[in-house]
Chains A and B, each alone.
Chain A
Amino acid sequence: MTVLLIALGAAVGAPLRYLTDRAVQSRHGSVFPWGTLLVNVAGSLLLGVLVGWPAGPAVSALLGTGFCGALTTYSTFSYETLRLTTGGHRLLALANVLGSVAAGLAAATAGYAVARALTG
């Protein structure tokens, strides 16, 4: 059952990352990877909420391990950072690294704190 819930969450999360990335890029001509930053921060926020709530094993498998895990990505983040660096955009690469980690951590912390406050 857990396996099915993880699979279901991932089957939605991965295509949603792709569609979000496309939508962000079609509105932003910038070389900075805003789309990946957005999915990574949104996924960190939601996972923070799920851990702080705390969600049961079924919801954790579906929304946490499956959906948030597949929505967010480290491989895309690292490859984009490499490409920005080799493409001569060193400052943007550094901004991507620092911005992603800082925003991801802030989102996880905020999600966790809000969930804890609401559920007592």
Chain B
Amino acid sequence: MPEPFEPRTDPDVDLRVPADRRELTARPATILAAIAAGGVLGALARAGLQHAVPHPPTGFAWATFTINTFGCLLIGVLMAVLGHLDGGPPLARPFLGVGVLGGFTTFSTYAVDIQQAIVVGAPGTALAYLAATLLGALAAVALGDAVTAGLLRRATR
């Protein structure tokens, strides 16, 4: 049986998934409000962690590194769970995936922190941070997806 949730590439919105195509016309205000609310929560959590663990321009941005790798682990877990539930509750992906995790993780701070480390003359830190985040994030999302999907398969067998 073909699963409508499975061909998804994009966790934010994938127009090849019928439910994603329909959701905005069906109830635009609810969907956008759920995304905005989740985005606010994710962004505030990110800002709180960055404030608690600041880094000098020449230093490794540990807070943002942790935020991005942990957020990638969680999107792997979340999408495996939602895929198992054939998409899950209609607002789960918009609120948790697009909103909370999309708002929590950040690409702009990643790019600018690398650029700033280069500007202040710390290319080694810039390269280490660039590679560590990239490899950490990709390993984390694969791990979150594989472990969760494996556990769910075992639980329902």
On A, residues with C-beta under 8 Å from B are 2-3, 6-7, 9-15, 17-19, 21-22, 25-26, 31, 33, 35-36, 40, 43-44, 46-48, 51, 61, 64-66, 68-84, 87, 97, 100-101, 104-105, 107-109, 112
Contact = CB atoms under 8 A, between A and B. Distances in A.
B-side binding surface: helix, strand, loop or mixed?
helix
Given A14-B98, A33-B10, A100-B107, A78 B141 contact: yes
Contacts of A104: 107-108, 110-111
A70 B13 contact: no
A10 B44 contact: yes
Interface of B: 8-15, 24, 31-32, 35-40, 42-44, 46-47, 50, 68, 71-72, 74-76, 79, 94, 97-99, 101-112, 114-116, 119, 130, 133-134, 137-138, 140-142, 145
Given A6-B43, A101-B134, A72 B106 contact: yes
A71 B141 CA distance: 20
Main secondary structure of the interface of A (DSSP, over half): helix
